[in-house]
Amino acid sequence: MSFTIDEIYKKGVPRGQFYRSELKSLTSGDYSDLTVSPSTNPPWAVLIDKVKFQESSFVTGGTGSGALKIEYPAYDGESVNTYTFSSLTALKHAADEIIEYSSETYYVWKPQPPILVKGSNSENSITFGMPTSVTVASGNLDFLLTGWTLKEADFD
């Protein structure tokens, strides 16, 4: 039996190990995606509950549109959902929290419900990056993902 996001929360606060991705910087000339994939053998899961980001004069270019694209497993784990923030302003407005520290502004987006990425699913990764045909013209967008790493066997 495979578990779902609602089964995790029926058991209370998720138990497992804290997860923190690498710090990713989308900059001019270097804008590869950040992909998070849990282990598939044995199957683990990553529960993404926060995306923290900061921008510095971030401007996009190219023939496409949007500022940041997220591809993540659909609830069934067999297909992929894609969400594109249409602009930097839209990304900032999606933030659930704003942190001012040492004259810097950090934004925190908390997807509700958290995004569950299971190693046992056929779609088992989440990817943050630039939309198709969009490049970084100048500045940078730094972000990282936080959440939980869970053993799937603990929920079967």
Q: What is the pLDDT of residues 78-133, one digit of tens each?
A: 999 999 999 999 999 999 999 999 989 999 999 988 898 999 999 999 999 999 99
**Domain 5-155 fold:** Jelly Rolls (2.60.120)
pLDDT at 57: 93
Structure confidence at residue 1 as a pLDDT band (50, 70, 90): very low
For 78-85, which contacts have Cβ atoms below 8 Å and span 24 or more sequence positions? 78/121, 78/122, 78/123, 79/123, 80/123, 84/131
Mean pLDDT on 5-32? 78
| pTM attached to this predicted model | 0.85
Structure tokens of 44? 């683990």
For residue 154, what are the CA distances in angstroms to 34, 100, 122?
27, 38, 20
pLDDT value for 17: 85
Interval 66-87 mean pLDDT: 93
Domain boundaries, the chain: 5-155
